[in-house]
Structure 1
Amino acid sequence: MMILASASPRRQELLGRITSDFQAVPAQIDERALPLLPPAEYVLALAQAKSREVAGRYPGERIIAADTMVAFGDEMLGKPADEDAARQMIRKLAGQTHHVHTGLVVRQANGQEESRVVTTAVTFWPLSDAEIELYLQQNSYMGKAGAYGIQDDGAFLIKKIDGDYYNVMGLPLSTLVRML
């Protein structure tokens, strides 16, 4: 059996596409305690911290940990606090290319750890204020880093991606399968 160091229903759904033999166990870490690093390094540090914390509670188990961040340049775009914050994020990303980084760690039962960062470039269509407002009315931005989810109404904002679709959802499956 594997342990997924996450409470994310989306990550659980994605991992369920490749195995049903896992248990989801949220990591108990203070993400704010980590030093602020460039986005790709930050998500890797978070995934490593999650892996190690859960491994401490479940020694001898295979642990999968991931952390995903939307980045516009060096600016990390987390989950918007409210509709106005979501509006600002979507306006910033409209007509631009940004990156989604996922730090991914697989810790084997013997403690050996392999880690990677998977990056996907996402380009949004240019968006009018009316299009942004229509998107915001759907409330799809809530609880989503960068104020969108590629798997729901956020798909209509996206002109193209270069990289792993599932990475944008939060768990790069093709990389994970190879690591396992």
Structure 2
Amino acid sequence: MINTPIVLASASPQRARLLEQLGLSFTAVPADIDETPHPDEDSVALAERLARGKACAIAPDYPQACVIGSDTVVAHGDEAFGKPRDLADAQRMLGALSGTTHRVITGLAVIAPGVPIHVSSVISQVTLARLEPATIAAYWATGEPQGAAGAYAIQGQAGQFVVHLAGSFSAVMGLPVYETAARLREIGLDPLGRAGIDGVAR
């Protein structure tokens, strides 16, 4: 499967940059799916369903490719925060997350020829500083929260709000790099060629 093309089912520049870190050539193709949570669907199930949905939406058009789908959900208690609709929605989300520790769940789906679909998730814990309403409004004005789950992008200016992160930084950004590379190795698409994760030739 070494010459199998790779398709990233996403329009996210952050996910593309993360996949580029693996040194792989790939094509990014936006996946347009309904991201509305199902009734009583927990955040892990939601993130995994959306990741699977994105990969499955693109895979029929690229039957000989390895298709990667990913989606991130910010969980505050029993509520799943997706992308904010507007300033008021961002204020609601960031107001709830302010001064608390919350979960960030990133689903990963990989579809490749001849192997079963792989779906998993990575859960991280993020603690945000207490945010004043004026700070939230100023942050919204940067344009960064739009399109970001939970109304913040950890890799950008919101990094100054993060008190503590336990888990995967890349997963909070939108694509779990370690888990993605591990799955690609399992199906014969090792980003390091024949080298193992420790750099030793196999």
Tell me if TM exceeds 0.5: yes
Paired residue secondary structure (2:103):
strand
In 2, distance between residues paired with 1:134 and 1:51? 35
Does structure 1 residue 113 correspond to structure 2 residue 117?
yes
**Amino acid aligned to 1:18:** L
Please list, as runs of the form range in 1=range in 2, the aligned pairs for 1:1-180 lying within 5 A after superposition.
1-32=5-36, 35-36=38-39, 37-180=41-184
**Which segment is superposed worse, 109-118 or 149-158?**
109-118
Identify unmatched segments of 5+ residues in structure 2: 185-202
**Offset at 1:71?**
1.1
Give the 3 Å change call, closer, same or farther, for CA 35–159 of structure 1 in structure 2.
Answer: same
Contact 1:120 / 1:162 at 8 angstroms: preserved in 2?
Answer: yes
Larger radius of gyration: 2
1:62-101 Cα distance to aligned partner (Å, 9 max, x none): 1111111111112111222222221221111111111111
Distance 1:79 1:28, change over 3 A: closer
Q: Which runs of 4+ in 1 moved over 4 A?
A: none
Deviation at 1:26, TM superposition (A): 1.8
Q: For residue 142 of structure 1, give the secondary structure of its aligned residue in structure 2.
A: coil
Q: Secondary structure at the match of 2:147?
A: coil
RMSD between aligned alpha carbons? 1.7
In the TM superposition, residue 42 of structure 1 has moved relative to its aligned partner by 0.8
What TM-score do the two structures reach when normalised by structure 2?
0.81
Paired positions, count: 179
Deviations 1:13-38 (A, max 9, x none): 11111134111112243334x73411
3-state DSSP of counterpart to 2:139: helix
What 5-or-longer segments of structure 1 have no aligned partner? none
Shift of 1:116: 0.8
Is the contact made by 2:10 and 2:31 (CA closer than 8 Å) also made in structure 1?
Answer: yes
**TM-score for the superposition, normalised by structure 1:** 0.90
Shift in Å at residue 171 of structure 1?
0.4
Residues 3 and 87 of structure 1: CA distance in aligned 2, closer, same or farther (over 3 Å): same
Q: Which amino acid aligns with 1:91?
A: G
